[in-house]
A and B are shown apart, each in its own frame.
Chain A
């Protein structure tokens, strides 16, 4: 039996509202809010990056796992906002949690599914008994070009999962990956902001890929949507995950717990993993969870988890996800946001 032994999420305190961004670019805030189905997004402070979010999320995950950093045999961060172009993020995180030096480490990239890639590989490593404990992290301080539709949603957050074979809180019953070469969203080297194919990111990319992965996973598991208490999908905006969930036959009640995007924004590699942490925060023993990530380029990783009795012992051991999202927020104006996100050209 393999699965999640500990989990944790970290969401920055700062937020910016859709109205504040729309005001600057002369856009209609109501139509963006309606179109994207989100009202605000998280903003990383200047001292927050993908590594700092990963470290805090992993500290929470270790607390719930009841293991120490030196028991971690592998640690992987999936992100598209690694702070260095050359130098791993994972070594910093591993050093901070005390996992060095006897630890395997790499950084993953696959647009928004880099986090679920890390989770997928960790599950494989513990299942093959190459590792006793492996940490998979999805973290991003994602970029959106000024004035672009992405600027209304590109947000920050991280989720971390300790995978293992003992003391499991959610057993991984099945996985499936589905990918094709689909250039719907990209960022070339030395470019500050990504570009996307507009409507091409929808049907031929997000929906085709998630449907392909989800249907194969349902077939592989022999399960149907009604067998699951919860489902979580990649959430680039509020509309897409609800729509793909309904296309697959899931009900709104199954989707709402992990649907954080309306007030969090799109945390890219963190998106469906953070949604999973919000589900684990309230899950009961025996609940089944269906998760499918999505990364442009394009691919999906799908997981079927079954929650164990241990979940009730660990839920309160670290800060939960919804309170981080709903409480103690600090709203910033566009000027502060532009400074924080280094959108202002300066003389050094």
Chain B
């Protein structure tokens, strides 16, 4: 994994930095400065809340190679308390707990590692909050 790629994404992956359109209030995550209809807008940095609930999820049984030791694992869309939706893994859960609507919190975790010798990618994962 090339370090520059993960380095560029530190603000969003480490600190949940999004961009808010100052005129419309729309939030973009990952951050971008071009709106859905392709126009530039007047944006400002906006930190996402770290609490929300499971909007939907799926279980990955056949993972890409860097996640093979984690299968089966869950990828979900979390609807945060401000309505923004983010995609991430769920961790530290027990099977019987998992359901749409469950409250979660975003925690700082390892996301993937480049074998034993490469750079370690950190980011956010959802953990049970109830």
Binding site for B on A (CB under 8 A): 12-14, 45-49, 51-52, 55-56, 59, 83-84, 92, 95-98, 328, 330, 339, 348
Binary interface profile of B, 87-120, with partner A (CB < 8 Å = 1, else 0)?
Answer: 0000110100000000000011111000110001
Check B109 against A47 for contact (C-beta < 8 Å). yes
Check B115 against A52 for contact (C-beta < 8 Å). no
Check A13 against B122 for contact (C-beta < 8 Å). no
Band of interface residues on B:
10 to 19
Distance between Cα atoms of A51 and B125 in the complex (Å) = 15
Binding site for A on B (CB under 8 A): 10, 14-15, 69-70, 91-92, 94, 107-111, 115-116, 120, 122, 125, 128
Chain B: CB-nearest residue to A328: B128
B122 to chain A: which residues have CB within 8 Å? 51-52, 92, 96
Distance between Cα atoms of A92 and B6 in the complex (Å) = 12
Some 24 contacts from A to B, beta carbons below 8 A apart, are: A12-B92, A14-B92, A45-B92, A46-B69, A46-B70, A46-B110, A47-B91, A47-B109, A47-B111, A49-B110, A49-B120, A51-B122, A52-B107, A52-B108, A52-B122, A55-B108, A92-B14, A95-B10, A95-B14, A96-B15, A96-B122, A97-B15, A330-B92, A339-B69
B108 to chain A: which residues have CB within 8 Å? 52, 55-56, 59, 96
Chain A: CB-nearest residue to B122: A92
Check A47 against B15 for contact (C-beta < 8 Å). no
Check B110 against A52 for contact (C-beta < 8 Å). yes
Chain A: CB-nearest residue to B117: A348
Distance between Cα atoms of A59 and B108 in the complex (Å) = 10
